Amino acid sequence: MNYEIVEQRIFLQDIQEKRVLEEFLKGEGIKLDKNLEYTVGIYDNHKLIATGSFYKNTLRCLAVNSKYQGLGILNKVVSNLLNEQYTRGYDHIFLYTKCNTAEFFSYLGFQEIVKIDGLAVFMENKYHGVKSYSENLSKFKVEGDAIASIVMNANPFTLGHLHLIEKAAKENNIVHVFVVSEEVSVIPFEVRYELIKKGTEHLTNVIIHKAGPYIISSATFPSYFVKDDIAAVEVHARLDLEVFKTYIVPALGIKNRYVGEEPYCEVTKTYNNIMKNCLEAEGIQCNIVPRLKSYNKPISASRVRELIRNNNIEGIKDIVPKSTYEYFISEEAKPIINKIKINLGRH
């Protein structure tokens, strides 16, 4: 059979190209991801036969027409994507794939991180990447009967976040707080990290960590940053929690995890419910703590941002720690305040 194989970038802004791509992926049982930076297509006589995309350092929406499997077509797709990612400065690459295609990616140098049988495998191209991460974490291990963890974005750090940490600190020997380090929030990671650090200086049994790529990142849990179907949220949540259970829990001896109750966001609410079921099935206590309230309204980072957006800096004084308030009235915060005013997103 004669093939006329051509590699070509697909621009999702083009309605026709996007429609063809969506139909192709649908035929392969894949839904087009809502957040993609780059997409490539492989064509035979102008017919789309394979595709792949990425968002940041995560490969997504990989598919090959079954008639063309075994011809090295997927290899072409992945090579194109990796070359583009390397050009953009990404070298630590992650991907999700179906369980029956994981072996193929292992031949391309990808290592399995975790697997959810029958659903998906989460992989990376860095040898011992997650193991090195957990080994570094283990340096902070403190022995005790009650070791807790909290994962928070804190965009920005509020009295609600502080209440959660103080409760965990009171009830445990040590609390490991992981600050989501993905740079997709309006407030940069370094600022969020410092506000948490300053706001918890009075707590001697709290250790602050950078979450890195293995805890609620666009690699492990993309649905946190981009609203998605609940079915996709469930898969992403289970993978994220599998990483947590497999590598982070043993590295630090975690027995308890604390999380704030979520009255509004369906993604976070779904994640919390799955987390409680997954962790408690493994003997790890999951504490969903009711939100702290101010004037009968739950305190939230989105409420703080809304007040700032409405030029009401004084209004945040009652719902954030002193250190957070002092930051937002400083000269240093002015560029961040301007960003908040024009940002209407979830983060």
- The pLDDT assigned to 297 comes to 86
**Is residue 268 within 8 Å of 231, Cβ to Cβ?**
no
Q: What is the pLDDT of residues 118-149, one digit of tens each?
A: 778 889 999 899 999 999 999 999 999 999 99
User: Which pTM does this prediction carry?
Assistant: 0.88
CATH 3.40.630.30 assigned to domain 5-127? The reply is: yes
Q: Tell me the C-alpha distance between 347 and 335, whole Å.
A: 16
Of 68, 12, 19, 72, nearest to 40 by C-alpha is 12
pLDDT digits (tens, 9 = 90+) for 52-92: 999 889 998 888 998 888 888 989 999 999 999 999 999 99
Q: Is 131-342 CATH 3.40.50.720?
A: no
Chain mean position to CA 342: 23
Q: Which residue has the tokens 């090959």?
A: 64
Q: What is the 3-state secondary structure (H, E, C) of 259-294?
A: EECCCCCHHHHHHHHHHHHHHHHCCCEEEEECCCEE
The answer to whether 254 and 176 have CB atoms below 8 angstroms apart is yes
Q: What's the rounded Cα separation, in Å, for the pair 13 and 51?
A: 16
From the list 16, 60, 15, the residue with the least C-alpha distance to 35 is 60
Domain ranges of the chain: 5-127, 131-342
